[in-house]
Amino acid sequence: MASCYGQFACNIVQAKLGSSNTTPMKPMRVISLALRSPNETTKHETFTSNNIVITKKSLTKTLLEAEERESAGKGKFGKYGGRYVPETLITCLNKLEAELNLVLHDPEFQAELSTALRDYVGRETPLYFAQRLTNHYKNDYGQGPEIYLKREDLNHGGAHKINNAIAQVMLARRMGRKSVVAATGAGQHGVATAAACAKLSLECTIFMGSRDMERQPSNVVLMNLLGAQVKCIDGSFKDATSEAIRSWVGNLETSYYLAGTAVGPHPCPTMVREFQAIIGKETRKQAMEKWGGKPDVLVACVGTGSNALGLFHEFLRDEDVRLIGVEAAGASIDDGRHSATLARGDVGVYHGAMSYLLQDEEGQILGAHSIGVGLEYPGVSPELSFLKDIGRAEFYTVTDQEALDAYRRLCRLEGIFPALEASHALAFLEKLCPTLPHGTKVVVNCSGRGDKDAATVFEKTTAGLANHKTKST
């Protein structure tokens, strides 16, 4: 696998730059390397720091070509993505792709979707200037970046998930399907899907891992109240996903598999990204209104990548906009129990697509771990894998403890409870802000609200306090 990647990277360099390798590194790359801790080396890093030299021009070209390839219906982002599925699913996926292309250009569908996003979901979500958080990051001279939060936490259902769920349920209804099946990790996608199905009068079955049901019980209750059937699957999100797909395959005519995030066989990653891209579109408009310019840095947490892609996609070709994804390091990145797919994974095929994933030497999928339940997935979006390889986006990790600290920090400073997933993005500000020039405009995707996590934080806090007491007595 490693050599396959190596060859791929070499091909890009040779195709774009001929034999030249003396072009200086972009300043962005230097900073990003400096931020990595000495322990966090992967084979990909050492490779890129020595050999990959991509100029501004070739990056844009690469992105443009990739876009063309994607829209030509191949569903590939560089070599990532694709459709590694049994024959039985190909026809179905073709139908879905055709329908997707239709609705993306259908003014009636778009108008109905806009109304739903505005009146049901509550969009536009604000781009909120976090004054006190900004002050927190000011240095002794009163200088520092300006932090803005894209308030996806204010959506109906409490997260960005609904942007995609409502659009896809509308699509399912249009295709004449009577029932929807989906898998959920933390439960946000399940709740969003159940809500959309209730509103549009479709039957709804949600598969959820037993581990996750234990950790996010409030979301299970919500799904039931919304009229959905919740099926408990032994394990976690990745197992629930496998079951959901299996169930769908058994009912291809009448049921619709609602992908909650940007993984899976083509057209799922593209579809989810398209429906989440509203986040970035609004951000561009709001940034223009607020400060007459663009954001300088975008930061988002990465489980599978839907909220990150939703924010980033609009700005892919704006190379003066830095894209930063933050994954979960779990208790510690080195103990093997984490969800840092892009930082520590290898390329492989999982759930129908080629992407980075957490696997052992025998290619067996490893379980992912994080306090942010929604970040626990051993794979990641193929599009993000591609953006990482070409150096368009940077990826870092944050531990459970750092995320918890960030949760508490935002509560205290801004009166906003961020989801523990989003807390990972917020935690990264601690490392990022000291490196940013004064006045840099940073937009963090506040992808969900943290009411669902209050009990977890409560437990960890009381446990922490108890430990402290025991230690000091």
Task: Please state the closest distance from residue 226 (CB atom) to another protein, in A.
Answer: 5
Q: Quote the least distance from Cβ 199 to another protein, whole Å.
A: 4
Nearer to another protein, 153 or 400 (CB): 153
Q: With binding defined as CB under 8 A, does residue 404 bind another protein?
A: no
- Compare residues 294 and 460 and give the one whose CB is closer to another protein: 460
332 and 370 in contact (C-beta within 8 Å)?
A: no
Q: Look up residue 339 and give its amino acid.
A: S
Q: Say if residues 407 and 417 touch (Cβ distance below 8 Å).
A: yes
Among positions 183, 195, 375, 425, the unique one binding another protein when judged by CB under 8 A: 195
Selected binder of another protein within 17, 31, 63, 198 (CB under 8 A): 198
For the purposes of burial, counting CB atoms within 10 Å of the CB of 357, is it exposed (0-12), middle (13-18) or buried (19 or more)? buried
Distance CA 393, CA 388 (A): 5
Which of 233, 414, 441, 444 touches another protein by CB under 8 A?
414
Does 119 interact with another protein (rule: CB under 8 A)?
Answer: yes
Give the residue, chosen from 85, 89, 171, 196, that forms a contact with another protein under the rule CB under 8 A.
Answer: 196
> Is 197:228 a contact under the CB 8 Å cutoff?
yes
DSSP code at position 226: T
For residue 244, what is the enclosing H or E element? helix 237-249
Nearest approach in angstroms of CB 331 to another protein is 22
285: contact with another protein by CB under 8 A: no
Q: Which two tokens stand for residue 231?
A: 């099926």
Among 1, 98, 225, 466, binds another protein (CB under 8 A): 225
Q: State yes or no: residue 194 binds another protein (CB under 8 A).
A: yes
Q: How many residues at the interface with another protein, by CB under 8 A?
A: 43
Task: Give Cβ neighbours of residue 151 (< 8 Å, ≥ 6 apart).
Answer: 125, 126, 127, 128, 446
CB 407 within 8 A of CB 450: yes
Q: In the complex with another protein, which residue's Cβ is closer, 206 or 329?
A: 206
From the number of C-beta atoms within 10 Å of its C-beta (0-12, 13-18, 19+), residue 440 rates as middle
Map residues 202-221 to x or -, x wherever contact with another protein holds by CB under 8 A: ----------------x--x
User: Which one of the spans 259-267, 364-372, 383-391, 454-462 is the region binding another protein (CB under 8 A)?
Assistant: 454-462
93 near another protein (CB under 8 A): no
What's the distance, Cα to Cα, between the start and end of the chain in Å? 53
CB of 169 to another protein, least distance (A): 10
- Residue 107: CB minimum distance to another protein, A: 20
H-only helix segments in 18-76: 27-35, 43-51, 56-69
Q: Which of 8, 47, 120, 291 binds another protein (CB under 8 A)?
A: 120
Q: What is the DSSP letter of 361?
A: T
Q: How far is the CB of 330 from another protein (least distance, A)?
A: 23
Q: In what order do the strands lie in the sheet with 229-233?
A: 229-233, 203-209, 179-184, 255-257
Q: Is 110 in the site for another protein (CB under 8 A)?
A: no
Which residues contact another protein (rule: CB under 8 A)? 118-120, 122, 125-129, 132, 151, 154-156, 158, 194-199, 201, 218, 221-222, 224-227, 408, 411-417, 451, 454-455, 457-458, 461
